Homo-oligomer: A and B are copies of this chain.
Amino acid sequence: MKISDVAKRTGLDAKTIRYYESIDLVDSPPRRENGYREYTEQGIQQLGFLRKARKFGFSINECRALLALWANPNRRSAEVHGLVTEKVRDIDVHILELKSMKKMLSDLLAQCPGDDSPSCAIISKLAAE
């Protein structure tokens, strides 16, 4: 299977697939005589796994760990559990930060007339000592 077909099937961009190969996140697939990459089911599965893991918010390095755990039949599910628990905590922190930013901005919005006048609580707040 050629790279563009793999791209279609996995939902990844062909460039992204080459990029993952370049950083050794996935194995290099064999090549045809003309140099084109020829993917096996194995490689396609890996890329599909990556697609999903990335969508779940895991970083490339976390994906590396997850791929290794996936490949290891002696893995302890506790390890996966730990990794994911930490990721959920990260997400929580991130959400709280965003909520705080949103609240501050919304409060300021309510005080800014939003008309043709130059006076604006937002600018004032940013300029405040």
- With both beta carbons as reference points, the residue of chain B lying nearest to A106 in the complex is identified as B88
CB-based contact A101/B57 at 8 Å: yes
Q: With A73-B118, A115-B78, A116-B78 given, is the CB distance from A56 to B105 under 8 Å?
A: yes
Q: How far is the CB of A24 from chain B (nearest CB, A)?
A: 19
CB-based contact A80/B120 at 8 Å: yes
A122 in the interface (beta carbon within 8 A)? yes
Copies of this protein, total: 2
CB-based contact A52/B120 at 8 Å: no
CB-based contact B75/A114 at 8 Å: no
Query: Interface size bucket, A side?
Result: 35 or more
A64 in the interface (beta carbon within 8 A)? no
> Complex Cα distance A69/B114, Å?
13
Q: How far is the CB of A79 from chain B (nearest CB, A)?
A: 9
Contacts A78-B113, A80-B120 known; 8 new A-B pairs at CB < 8 A:
A56-B101, A75-B120, A75-B123, A76-B116, A76-B118, A77-B113, A77-B118, A91-B105
